[in-house]
Chains A and B, each alone.
Chain A
Amino acid sequence: MKELLSPGHTACPACCDTMIAKFTLRALGEDCIIISPTGCLEVTTSAFPTSSWNVPWIHSLFENAGAVASGIEAALKAMNKKEDTKVVVLAGDGGTLDIGIRSISGAFERGHDIIYICIDNEAYMNTGVQRSGATPFNATTTTSPSGKVSFGNPLPKKNMPAIMNAHGAPYVATATLAYPKDFMKKVKKAGSIEGPTYIHAHAPCTTGWGFDTSKTVEIGKLAVQTALWPLYEIENGTITSVKKVKNKKPVEEYLRMQKRFKHLFTKEGGEEEIAKIQKIADENIDIFGLQ
């Protein structure tokens, strides 16, 4: 099988971005157009005069992927060239939840036939691990560092799938690199549905989260097994499937493996902070009926 994302790119070993891009293309095949806003995926795959992309690919700006995708879809339809071509955004969390939220909101409200995949590594990794709206509670980043009077990011993670569901998207799903078959199944499903579809993918970042490059998949699985990253599908506003969490693991197992949560295990008061994170996981169990 021809890989549609060529090796030789400059991503870190164990990088989730390029693996998610590769699985996306395996799921969709050649007949697609990819839009990547500014970020790790763009930088690592398009250093002029090289390109890793064996499908048409465009990078415009950081905050406009939703609009660029809309314009591509509208142009294909106007020129009667849409046929089965999939218009797919592969964006990071900053470009989606924060600076790009206006343009994704417009694209979904207008109902363009696009697939938007957010590769969520929970901070601005391309610029050196700064906090984004997707950074989880109590994670340390370079702009939400833990310190004498801080346990890191004091704010909850923005619930982007809920926001996209509120736009009336016919399909919203969460996924993770750690379960690639599940991820590809969801991408295929998104591709089979007319209208704007959204997949929010957990993307452990070895550099930004601080773990050994052999542990990407393990971390990804632990996020699901602790219920910190619930896997679900929402179709036309209704939850239609969840991945049940059997033998739920305590959040410590997930947090302990990552340097971004190390302070929770070394600082006085850390236990109480971990308990707060456990509460988030427990709430997910209830909200999504994970058990």
Chain B
Amino acid sequence: MAILREADKDKMTVVEGSYAVAHAVKVCRPHVISAYPITPQTHIVEELSQFIADGEIPNCAYMNVESEFSALSALVGSAATGARCYSATTSQGLALMHEVLFNFSGLRLPMVMTIVNRALSAPINIWNDQQDSISQRDTGWIQLYAEDIQEASDMIAQAYKISEDKDVLLPAMVCMDGFILSHVYEPLVLLEEDLTNEYLKPYETNYKLDPKNPLSFGAFADPSSYTEFRYLQQQAMDKAINKVEEAADEFKELYGRYYGGVIDTYMTEDADIILCAMGSIIGTLRDVVDNLRSNGKKVGLLKVRAFRPFPAEAIKQAVSNTSVIVALDKNISIGLNEGALLTELKSILYNTNLNMPVIGFSIGHGGRDIPEKTIEDIVQKAENVIKSGISHESEFVDLREDLI
């Protein structure tokens, strides 16, 4: 579970989530930032622009590009030149980047991009869910999900460390829920510059565009070699599992803060029911778990921090003694009627000796509020599954019947 060193409370300041992230990016010393404005990501890039205007990020270019497509494309060039790169986007912007996402990871270039999670159009909606990043799950990017703004900002440094690791060399998304985290003001510790200089060494690579040592990037691979490129990407993702853990452990050691590795667990050891989710909903779930525990209900919480690489082994271990798993998804695969966590949880448990039921709920679409009562009702349904088996494997919650 999340740890904050007692002494750190003196260092706390109240800032907006977007400021905290921008500050973290600043102390990670990027060379190129390239972004395009889109709600609710804008505050991050505005803060970074101000840092640049004030000369607070030395040796860094800020590119005001003409689209998200070019924002990420420009960073293909920058990262291939050996630069540490950053961008931030959301929703439509991330969808527009889709083609470049595959290209970035296929070229095995590192970078960090904050995804301020937001719903996709139509209907157009600027509020939070996680359909945007989940829809990019197969692009070969590492995806980390933050619970609160302290984690969303600290995760920037962790993500660079993982992404730039010689055994990984894959780009990373740090996902934070739009408005709920990006626009909230909370007390936190701004990522410490001195510690970050120690934690995150400058990015150095031999694989770069350099006239002194000419290399070719982005060659075309025919059927005799394409498969092996894909295989090596998968291998890098496999290695990233441990790197996520190591990055979190080293961070804990140095900064005294910890949010879990690939997953985090809360009261799962003896839990009959384990709620599984990602992002800001975790805070609500902790409260619900506390309330239900005080009423004697054995409920636990499994927070998925890394959605890619997917932490299959860690999850299997965490859920091995439970009676039912509940996936809460702020996304939906229309046509399958499942959120991504539900699908992944079922798939990793199949072919194992773990055969507890898994049910899922589509929740919080387009910024719909998720009150504790909704979670309690879901737990009630999970209890019914323990008693009498699954009636609905996956369903929408809190539907407004008057609109249907």
Interface residues of A (CB under 8 A from B): 30-33, 35, 42-43, 46-51, 53-61, 63-64, 66-81, 85, 102-103, 105-106, 109-110
**Looking at the complex, which one of B70, B103, B209, B222 makes contact with A56 (CB distance below 8 Å)?**
B209
11 A-B interface contacts by CB (under 8 A): A30-B211, A30-B214, A42-B220, A43-B220, A46-B216, A56-B211, A64-B70, A68-B73, A70-B65, A79-B82, A85-B211
| B32 and A55 within 8 A (CB) | no
Q: When A64-B70, A66-B70 are in contact, do A53 and B216 touch as well, CB less than 8 Å?
A: yes
| B83 and A67 within 8 A (CB) | no
**Looking at the complex, which one of B81, B100, B107, B225 makes contact with A72 (CB distance below 8 Å)?**
B81
Chain B positions within 8 Å of A109 at CB level = 66
| B78 and A61 within 8 A (CB) | no
Chain B positions within 8 Å of A80 at CB level = 59
| B220 and A61 within 8 A (CB) | no
Chain A positions within 8 Å of B23 at CB level = none
Q: When A61-B99, A74-B61, A102-B69 are in contact, do A68 and B219 touch as well, CB less than 8 Å?
A: no
**Looking at the complex, which one of B65, B80, B82, B107 makes contact with A67 (CB distance below 8 Å)?**
B65
| B83 and A79 within 8 A (CB) | yes
| B73 and A60 within 8 A (CB) | yes
Given contacts A50-B219, A63-B69, A70-B65, 20 further A-B contacts (CB under 8 A): A46-B218, A48-B221, A48-B222, A49-B219, A55-B211, A59-B217, A59-B219, A60-B76, A60-B103, A60-B107, A67-B69, A68-B74, A71-B34, A75-B32, A75-B81, A79-B59, A103-B67, A103-B70, A103-B73, A106-B65
Residue of A whose beta carbon sits closest to that of B70: A67
Q: Closest CB of chain B to A85's CB: distance in Å?
A: 6
Measured in the bound complex, the distance between the Cα atoms of B216 and A60 in whole Å is 11
Q: When A102-B69, A106-B67 are in contact, do A75 and B77 touch as well, CB less than 8 Å?
A: yes
Chain B positions within 8 Å of A67 at CB level = 65, 69-71, 73-74, 76-77
Chain A positions within 8 Å of B82 at CB level = 75, 79
Q: Is B378 interfacial (CB 8 A cutoff)? A: no
Q: Closest CB of chain A to B229's CB: distance in Å?
A: 8
| B76 and A68 within 8 A (CB) | yes
| A72 and B69 within 8 A (CB) | no
| B215 and A56 within 8 A (CB) | yes
Q: Is B315 interfacial (CB 8 A cutoff)? A: no
Q: Is the interface of A mostly helix, strand, loop or mixed?
A: mixed
Q: Is B289 interfacial (CB 8 A cutoff)? A: no
Interface positions of B from 174 to 212, Cβ below 8 Å from A:
209-211
Residue of B whose beta carbon sits closest to that of A46: B219
Q: When A55-B211, A71-B63, A72-B209 are in contact, do A47 and B69 touch as well, CB less than 8 Å?
A: no
| A75 and B31 within 8 A (CB) | yes
Chain A positions within 8 Å of B83 at CB level = 75, 78-79
Chain A positions within 8 Å of B81 at CB level = 33, 71-72, 75-76, 79, 81
Measured in the bound complex, the distance between the Cα atoms of B81 and A80 in whole Å is 12
| A61 and B73 within 8 A (CB) | yes
| A77 and B61 within 8 A (CB) | yes
| A72 and B220 within 8 A (CB) | no
**Looking at the complex, which one of A54, A72, A103 makes contact with B214 (CB distance below 8 Å)?**
A54
| A47 and B67 within 8 A (CB) | no
Q: When A71-B74, A102-B67 are in contact, do A59 and B59 touch as well, CB less than 8 Å?
A: no
Measured in the bound complex, the distance between the Cα atoms of B83 and A76 in whole Å is 8
Chain B positions within 8 Å of A60 at CB level = 73, 76-77, 100, 103, 107, 218
Q: When A64-B70, A75-B32, A79-B83 are in contact, do A58 and B65 touch as well, CB less than 8 Å?
A: no
Chain B positions within 8 Å of A81 at CB level = 81
Residue from B67, B74, B78, B107 having most chain A Cβ neighbours under 10 A: B74
Chain B positions within 8 Å of A110 at CB level = 63-65
Chain B positions within 8 Å of A70 at CB level = 63, 65, 70, 74, 77
Measured in the bound complex, the distance between the Cα atoms of B83 and A56 in whole Å is 16
Q: When A78-B60, A79-B31 are in contact, do A58 and B214 touch as well, CB less than 8 Å?
A: no
Q: Is B237 interfacial (CB 8 A cutoff)? A: no
Measured in the bound complex, the distance between the Cα atoms of B75 and A69 in whole Å is 10
Chain A positions within 8 Å of B103 at CB level = 60-61
Residue of B whose beta carbon sits closest to that of A54: B214
| A61 and B100 within 8 A (CB) | yes
Measured in the bound complex, the distance between the Cα atoms of B219 and A71 in whole Å is 19
Residue of B whose beta carbon sits closest to that of A86: B211
Considering the complex of A and B, which 3 residue pairs feature the smallest CB-CB distances, nearest first?
A71-B77, A71-B74, A64-B73
Residue of A whose beta carbon sits closest to that of B102: A61
| A56 and B76 within 8 A (CB) | no
**Looking at the complex, which one of A46, A58, A76, A106 makes contact with B66 (CB distance below 8 Å)?**
A106
Q: Closest CB of chain B to A21's CB: distance in Å?
A: 13
Chain A positions within 8 Å of B34 at CB level = 71, 74
Residue from A48, A53, A71, A77 having most chain B Cβ neighbours under 10 A: A71
Chain B positions within 8 Å of A68 at CB level = 73-74, 76-77
Measured in the bound complex, the distance between the Cα atoms of B220 and A56 in whole Å is 16
Q: When A61-B100, A106-B66, A110-B63 are in contact, do A78 and B32 touch as well, CB less than 8 Å?
A: yes
| B100 and A51 within 8 A (CB) | no
| A71 and B73 within 8 A (CB) | yes
Chain B positions within 8 Å of A103 at CB level = 66-67, 69-70, 73
Q: Closest CB of chain A to B6's CB: distance in Å?
A: 39
Contact flags B151-170 to A (C-beta < 8 A → 1, else 0): 00000000000000000000
Measured in the bound complex, the distance between the Cα atoms of B361 and A13 in whole Å is 61
Q: When A51-B216, A57-B214, A64-B69 are in contact, do A71 and B225 touch as well, CB less than 8 Å?
A: no
Q: Closest CB of chain B to A159's CB: distance in Å?
A: 21
Chain B positions within 8 Å of A51 at CB level = 216, 219
Q: When A46-B218, A85-B211 are in contact, do A71 and B32 touch as well, CB less than 8 Å?
A: yes
Chain A positions within 8 Å of B222 at CB level = 47-48
Measured in the bound complex, the distance between the Cα atoms of B103 and A57 in whole Å is 15
Chain A positions within 8 Å of B66 at CB level = 102-103, 105-106, 109
Q: Closest CB of chain B to A7's CB: distance in Å?
A: 16
| A71 and B76 within 8 A (CB) | yes
Chain B positions within 8 Å of A32 at CB level = 211
